[in-house]
Amino acid sequence: MTFLAAAIQMAAASDKAANLERAERLLRLAAARGANLAALPEMFNWRGKRSEEAAAAEPLSGESISRMSRVARELQIHLVAGSIAERAPGQPRNYNTSVLIGPNGSILAAYRKIHLFDIDLPGRVTAHESDVKIPGTEIVNVPTALGMIGLTICYDLRFPELFRRLVFSGTQIITLPSAFTFPTGEAHWETLIRARAIENQVYMLAPAQFGPNPHGFNDYGNSMIVDPWGRVLARAADQEGVVIAPIDLDYQERVRRELPALSHARLRSEKV
């Protein structure tokens, strides 16, 4: 089975209406180019001051996911609605949540980011995601007409045990909506994505934010699609746009058959 997947690169800011309009335009472009699966970056609908995030957060039934559901239904595509700040009832903090939407517009799965990005690089980057976010606790994958899709978000990339558990439960395609900082992205983004693809023999679909962001540093961009052999099939330039590549599950099966490393695994942790 072969189909086309699209990774969408954006530079989202604090104007939610403009971000949603831009996301829809890019999704329409992806569908026009033949994509059956499209993925938006982390926090595609709003990026602003952390002090304003509570007001921008939404339930999954809110404006952003509802609009993406309508777009997926109209375009007849599977859509990973990047991630949004999902309001957690009764909590002062929100979840960072990625949503998989089917071609009929229904929500197939929602994944709440497990690993939150807290870092201090003096003079370069200070970010404390846990100040405004609650960590999730559950791994999420779901069978679809396009294969088994597993959901992750950004900083999760540094935790290979999560990807291993996804693959041992049948995942074939892993999505990674991201907003990697420039310093860490330049050093590790491609290396880690290719490593996760190679060691798990999966397709990695990694849409990202790029350019200056509201937190005072730059995002790396370089949205990419990587195959189970670790080849970069598509990479975005330093601008908003769409990159597309084929997902060939027959090829993936051949890679796994000819280099059966997954079946040789002796250690299978039960902990995330």
Question: Is 270 part of any domain?
Answer: no
Q: Which domain holds residue 156?
A: 2-264
Question: Is 235 part of any domain?
Answer: yes
Among residues 113, 129, 133, 240, which one is catalytic? Answer: 113
> How far does CA 62 lie from the centroid of its chain?
20
The two structure tokens encoding residue 109: 């799965």
Predicted confidence band of residue 51 (pLDDT cuts 50, 70, 90): confident
Among residues 129, 133, 154, 240, which one is catalytic? Answer: 154
Tell me if residue 49 is catalytic.
Answer: no
Q: Nearest-CA neighbor of 126 among 246, 51, 217, 237?
A: 217
Question: Is 272 part of any domain?
Answer: no
Report angle CA 3, 220, 180 to the nearest 5 degrees. Answer: 80
Least reliable range by pLDDT among 66-70, 210-214, 219-223: 210-214
Each residue of 234-272: pLDDT tens digit?
999 999 999 999 999 999 999 999 999 999 998 875 544
Tell me if residue 58 is catalytic.
Answer: no
User: Rounded mean pLDDT of 151-180?
Assistant: 97
Angle between helical axes of 190-200 and 160-168 (0-180°, round to 10):
30
Angle between helical axes of 16-32 and 63-75 (0-180°, round to 10):
20
Question: Is 6 part of any domain?
Answer: yes
Question: Is 271 part of any domain?
Answer: no
Total domain count, the chain? 1
Cβ contact 127:181 at 8 Å: yes
* Residue 124: predicted pLDDT: 63
Q: Residue 54 maps to which CATH number?
A: 3.60.110.10
Among residues 42, 58, 86, 240, which one is catalytic? Answer: 42
* Residue 90: predicted pLDDT: 86
Where does residue 73 rank: exposed (0-12), middle (13-18), buried (19+ CB within 10 A)?
middle
Percent of the chain topping pLDDT 70 = 96
User: Rounded mean pLDDT of 91-108?
Assistant: 96
Asked if the model's pLDDT at residue 210 lies above 70, the reply is: yes
Question: Is 169 part of any domain?
Answer: yes
Question: Is 204 part of any domain?
Answer: yes
* Residue 271: predicted pLDDT: 47
Tell me if residue 53 is catalytic.
Answer: no
Question: Is 186 part of any domain?
Answer: yes
